[in-house]
Amino acid sequence: MTTIANEQPKARGWRHALFGRPEKPFVNPYVGGALLGVVLFLSFFLTGNGLGASGGLNRYVVFLQDLVAPEHVDRVAYLLKMAGGDKNPLDDYLVFMTLGTLMGGFFSGWLHGRLKVETNKGPNISVRTRWVMAFVGGAIMGYGARFARGCTSGQALSGGAVLSAGSWAFMFAVFAGGYALAYFVRRLWN
């Protein structure tokens, strides 16, 4: 005679509440693109400004610089525009847009069961190499976004939507650079 013991369900803590949701499928890319277009239109319509992220992140950095070395901020013309004297670098719509983007992405990841602590990498590289390459790539992209006066959100989406020739040139350069560099970093994923 076989008996089945009555197992008590395990107490589920905060980790299960955060990471234990069932994973849902991705949204159709055409639907996602259309929704992004609606969000961009609403951004222009409601605020008079487009989307962007690098400007908001830049203002967070300038805020920290102003706390640590305010005399440096007052001497550099580029920083002076954002935080010189009594100006608060966080007094800009991009700061709130960036914060909302981070919170919205986190909430969406949680809602659809995609919050995970993992490192995506190819089978032929170590986790450490993947992190180093991600940091190097992020630094290059951050520098490029400031050099180009905007990231892919601000330049490509917002600038492209208002038919800015510089934004279209930027986007073609981003795709060309990505395709050209992909050959050299393919071993990181294969």
Please give the pLDDT value at position 35.
94
pLDDT of residue 154: 84
SS3 6: coil
**Helices 54-68 + 127-147 axis angle, to 10:** 90
Query: What's the CA gap between 145 and 130, in Å, rounded?
Result: 22
DSSP states of 32-51: HHHHHHHHHHHHHHHHS---
Distance CA 42, CA 50 (A): 9
Maximum CA pair distance of the chain?
85
What pTM did the predictor assign? 0.74
Residue 26: both structure tokens together: 């991705």
CA distance 96 to 86: 20
Nearest to 153, CA basis, from 143, 167, 166, 165: 167
Sequence-distant (6+) residues with CB within 8 A of 89 are 59, 60, 62, 63, 66, 82, 83, 95
| pLDDT for the residue 185 | 83
Predicted pLDDT at 6: 55
Per-residue pLDDT of the chain (190 residues; tens, 9 = 90+): 555 555 555 557 877 778 888 889 998 999 999 999 999 999 899 888 888 888 888 899 999 999 998 889 888 888 888 887 788 899 988 899 889 989 999 999 999 998 888 888 888 889 999 899 999 988 988 888 888 888 888 888 888 888 999 889 988 988 998 899 888 888 777 6
